[in-house]
Each structure stands twice: as structure tokens, then as C-alpha cells.
Structure 1
Amino acid sequence: MNWITNYVRPTINSLFSRREMPENLWEKCPECGTMLFHRELADNQRVCTSCGHHMGITPRERFQSFFDGGMYKEIAVPQPLADPLHFRDQKKYPDRMKAAQKQTGEKDAMLIGEGEVLRTRLVAIAQDFSFMGGSMGMYVGNAIIAACEHAVARKLPLVLFSAAGGARMQEGILSLMQMPRTTVAVDMLREAGLPYIVVLTHPTTGGVTASYAMLGDVQIAEPNALICFAGPRVIEQTIREKLPEGFQRAEYLLEHGMLDRVTPRKDLRVEIATILRMLTGQGAVVHGELPAPPPAEPAP
């Protein structure tokens, strides 16, 4: 037995060997392939610093950068029936829900918050594509109704960030019923004279596009977002023709009159606050801290 080879050298190597680098420090941009440091990516709101590609972002991450100081009040959503159809494919529906809840840390695919954006008070609701593809089920319908009712009660505008693959198949016809339910909820805002702005993010498809996602008073989209009812691959296979370049992307829809604006994520705060203050007859957008109040006049 060689004491130096078998004992001394492994001991020294274990003391001075380089620690392995954690796997979650870097993320590869799916568009240009650039490796991005996780802190730099988070500081840039998950937008690639090399090519400007807008990656997926969770509702909590979005609200953190959207609301002033990242502060907002979360609005509760009524819980629907857990498994009304007793649906099962490869897994039971409750098992899929538990897996998605464990992965995302959220109850379902919607989050509602009330707060200020550049001193403009509003209600915001965001869809989470990482939760079962942001699919529209009864919880999503309940969330939009709750957000609209809260906005009407507080006389506040509503901003919705959509991101979905369509209706949730595990809830069958009950998921499709959310299309008319959410349409009626949006009509509540119109009857109250409150603005409703929709920001369509990548991707927004299916029954979500066919209902509340296209009913905004102002329609904004993030760059290169896929916005459609049926996807381009399905359309190509149906009509057996090659689709135009950029078909169903945000810039194509803006050019053809289906959108009002295509706005980068970092500019959404100013854009939305400016539009809302114009629609509600408020003053100009307030940047930074409010000025100090004037000194009190001395008592006579």
C-alpha cells in the first residue's frame, strides 16, 4: 500500500479542489444562444441583453418590476371545485395540479394585485404560463371576475397580462364556459367607465385570445409574441400553404391593425401609466419621488 498515493494525495485534493459551479447560475437564450448570468437576466426583467428576446416571466416577477417599489396587495380568488369531471389521462387531474403547484409555488395560473405604477393606482392580473401552460380553467375565470369586481368597487382601471396555451382540457366544457363569463366581467368595467388594458405576452393562444385577451380598450403586446387562436403549424397543415414570414407575431398583427402598440417590457410601466392617466383625466406621469410639501405659513 502506497500511503502517499492512497491517503495523502486524495486528502490534499479534497481540501484544495475547486467547488463545482451551481447549474442555475447561467441561462441560455433560446433565440440567440447567448449564456446569460442569472442576476443580469433578472435585473433586465428576463429580456436577453444580447438580442432583446423576451423570455417567460412569472406573475410575481412581473409585479415585482411593474409596481412601484415592487409593492402590491394580493387579491384573493374564490376556489373552484377541485376535479368536477374526475378527469384522467396519463395522470389524474388532481395529481397534475399538485405537481404544477409544487413546481411554481402558486395555487393556479392567475395572480391579482392592486398597487401603484408611477403613482397611478390600478388593479393588475397576470397569467402564469409555467402553470400548466397558463391554461384557462375555472380558477382563471374566477380570477378575472374577482379582478373586475375589485376594480369596479375601488373605481380603478384594470391591466391584464395574458400568457396561455388556451382552455384547460381537464375541465372540458367548464373551461370553455369561462369565455362568456370573462366577457361579461369585462363588460362590467365598460359599464363603470373604467379603462381595461391588455398586454399580450408570448404565447397567447386559443380560447384566451378568443375572449378576454382581445377585449381591451388598448391592446399592447411584447415584441415577437405569438398571438393567435390556432397556431401557425395547424394552419399550414390545414390550408397546405406556406404562411408569411412572422405570421401571427406581434409586429405582424400591429401592421395589420389588430394591436395598438408593441412595447418592450422595460417600457411598459411608463406606457401603461401614461395611457391610464390620459384615459382617466389625471395629470402627467410622476417620475421618481413626489416633491416635498410647501412649508406651513406661520400662524398670525
Structure 2
Amino acid sequence: MSKLQLSVAVGNYDRIRPMVDGEVQIEGVDPVFMLQDPEEIFFRAFRHADYDICELSLSSYSVKTAAGTSPYIAIPVFPSRAFRHTSIYVRTDRGIERPEDLKGKHIGVPEYQLTANVWVRLFLEGDYGVKPSDVTWVRGGYEDATRVEKISLHLPDDVKLETAPEGRTISELLADGEIDAVIGPRAPSCFDRRHPHVKYLFENPHKTAADWYARTNLFPIMHTLGIRKTIAERHPWLPGALLKAFENSKALALTRLSDTSATKVTLPFVEDQLGAARKLMGTDFWPYGFAKNEHVVNRFLERHHAEGLSSRRLEARDLFHPATLESFAI
């Protein structure tokens, strides 16, 4: 039997390189990898379902799944995870010294429903009492004013969402002082250029995030992996084969990262960072699989529905192919 030739669109992460380089095989599949930025993958996936297998925004996928319109079914592989206390950038001349000071401010976002922004709003309200209705949200492209919200939204009436002025980017608005803060998965370019009036909200966002993890046991999931439903229906063995291959690829990447006799990444003290992560989060600090991540996904879905982003309250198992909800053991 010949192998399936399937397109696989993912980011260029160390944890998938062993598959891209052919060291780890997907059983029964001859993959055609396309290494692209998440923005391109998500736009093409949710607008046109361009790929057979692809990385998916957890938020956008949840919107589509709740509405019954997703062309993809996910497996519990999470190519991207990140603590998002580093995702809030504020003007230094607006009296914003604490999260509570964001109330009444204008906050720019590249898209309101982005997964990173859902996680930020979760801890802003849960830890600091800042509700989405307490601020005015300004939606626009970070660096390209033509960027659009790729998913239609039906937000609660008390959430104020405006569109950035035509031709203006979120980064420009922050640099010029026309908005007070920005929340998003990337740093705006004015922050990267060390604008004198733009800073992180949290003085030490990494410590704040570590403390939050110690309290909540939540390592935020940003992206999952989707298979076109029609393909998964024709080949019921495929979801399990993908989960196995992505697990093996990640394991090989971590083995290499741990070998500091000749450091594999261009970063000094990587062994210290790796040791700190394992001390805080355990050996398997970037887990795949349903059981290890059910509580994280359910917390996200609870928040997602409470914000009016998903039309019904999903449970974690609603997102994933039934064949991947449990795995074999030896």
C-alpha cells in the first residue's frame, strides 16, 4: 500500500524538526511540510481550509467547533505554548503601574479573539479584577493596517471594541500615545525599538508567570494540531499515527536540548533555563496527550465561553478526535 501524501503546515519549531528532517516518520504518511508563520497558517486554514494537517489557533478552532463549522478535528498535540505575562505593553506616561490601572484605558489588540489575549484576560480578571468591559479595545494590525479579524465575533453588549483609524497600526498608535497599552502574542515594533515611553506592564513578567503557574498548574496552550475531517474519516488510523510521531519528534528534540556538551541552540546558559523549567514544572514540562492537558483546555474553554467567543460551552474532549483521548501503555 502506498503512503498518503499529505500537506502539513506548522511553524519551524525544534520539536518538529526531527519529522521535517526525516528522522522521525509518520506511519503511513509521506508528508509535504510547509514551515510557515502562524498568522499565514491560521488565515489560510480558517478562510480556505488549505491544508490536510496544520497547526491551529486554539481560540479560532474553539469558535469554529462550537459553531459546528470547523473543517478540522484536532489531536492533543500542542506545537505552541507560552506564558503570557510578557504580552502586555503599556505607556509609561499614563500612570499604569499595576494591572488594576488598566481600567478605563484604551488597549490595542491585533485580534480580540486571539488565544494569547484570552489567556491574558483570564488572569487579568481572575487575579486583578480587570474585566473585559472595564477597558476599550482597539483592534487593528500590529504592523499592517489591512489585517482583519479572521473569525466573526458576537461579543457581550458591555464589551467595547473599536477599529483602529484607517491606515494606522497598533504599534504606531502606542508609540504616538493614542492608545494606552497593547496586548498580543508578539511585541509591537515600537517596544522592540526601545521606545522611551513603552514598557512591559509587569516589572518581572517571567517571575510573575512562574508564580502564577505554581498557583494554578496552567501552562497556557496557544496552538493545537488539526486534521481535515474528511481525511480523518477515511483513514481512522491517522490521528493516532500523528500523535505518536509528534510525541517522538518532541522527545528527540528535548534529548538534544539536554545535551550541553555542545549546545544545540544559539543561547548561553540554556542548561540553566532547562533546569529551572524542570524544577518548576517537572520533567515532562511540555506535555502532549489528552489526560495531561484536559484541565488546561477546560479552563481555557470555560473562559472562552464566558467571554462570548464560543457559542456553547465546550468540554475538552469535544475538541479532539475520539481515537486520541486515550493511549496505549506497555
Common fold: TM-score over 0.5: no
Q: Higher relative contact order by CA 8 Å / sep ≥ 6: 1 or 2?
A: 2
Larger radius of gyration: 1
TM-score for both structures, normalised by structure 1: 0.26
TM-score for both structures, normalised by structure 2: 0.24
